[in-house]
Amino acid sequence: MRPYRLILTVIAVIILAATVGAQNPPPPLSAEPPAAQRAPRPPLVPLEIQLVISRYQGEKRVSSMPYVLAVNANGERAQLNMGADVAIPSTTFTPAAPADGKSPPPAPLRSYHYRNIGTAIICGATTTADDGRFEVNISVDDSSVFMKEESAGATSSGDMPAFRSFKSRNTLLLRDGQTRQYTAATDRVSSETIRIEVTLKVVK
């Protein structure tokens, strides 16, 4: 009888342990910390960011292109892309003249390819420990066509255009209503100076 009682005792202990384990399961290994322990997410702040890309010939402003983006501080970055596909002449050839010598010579033929020209802007913002100031991250890519007759200093040949490109990456600290000019660079093709001006406004 003793072996039989011993077997029954072992079975009872196993059943009791399984029951207790089912009632109190261990926490999963990948459990997230309680909400009270997680850092609070900074609130979103709606902003209006205006960028003005200007070109100057000396002190004379020859062009000014404004762009306005709606940006949520502490949120996703805003993106803006504007441009067009420009036809670029690539090959010119003249067909053979008619053999009869009386017909007018054929007009030259020209083939084209297309190149994308325009402006791409990426802008994001975050709040800072200094109350009222925002850290604004700005990325600007700008390209344009430049013809020789626009300036005596251009380097293009014949009627073929030159292609200008401008890239800028910067981080600014701005308050509500503040305007700041953060870059000035001279275009080597046209001798024009490029300036970017940024204005921040809090949308209320």
- Report residue 76 as tokens: 């996703």
What backbone torsions phi and psi does residue 2 show, to the nearest 5 degrees?
-60, -45
CB 75 within 8 A of CB 67: no
Place of tokens 């975050």: 126
71 closest CA partner among 197, 198, 180: 198
Largest CA distance in the chain: 131
Report how far residue 88's alpha carbon sits from residue 95's, in angstroms, rounded to the nearest whole number.
21
Strand order of the sheet with strand 193-202?
A: 60-73, 45-57, 193-202, 179-186
Q: What is the mean pLDDT of each run of 10 residues along the chain (204 residues)?
A: 60 63 58 62 93 91 94 95 85 70 73 88 93 93 76 50 86 95 81 92 94
Does pTM surpass 0.75?
Answer: no
Helix count and strand count (H, E) for the chain: 1, 8
Query: Looking at residue 141, what is its pLDDT?
Result: 94
Phi, psi of 202 (to 5 degrees): -85, 125
> What's the confidence (pLDDT) of residue 154?
44
Rounded distance between C-alpha atoms, residue 95 and residue 107, angstroms: 8
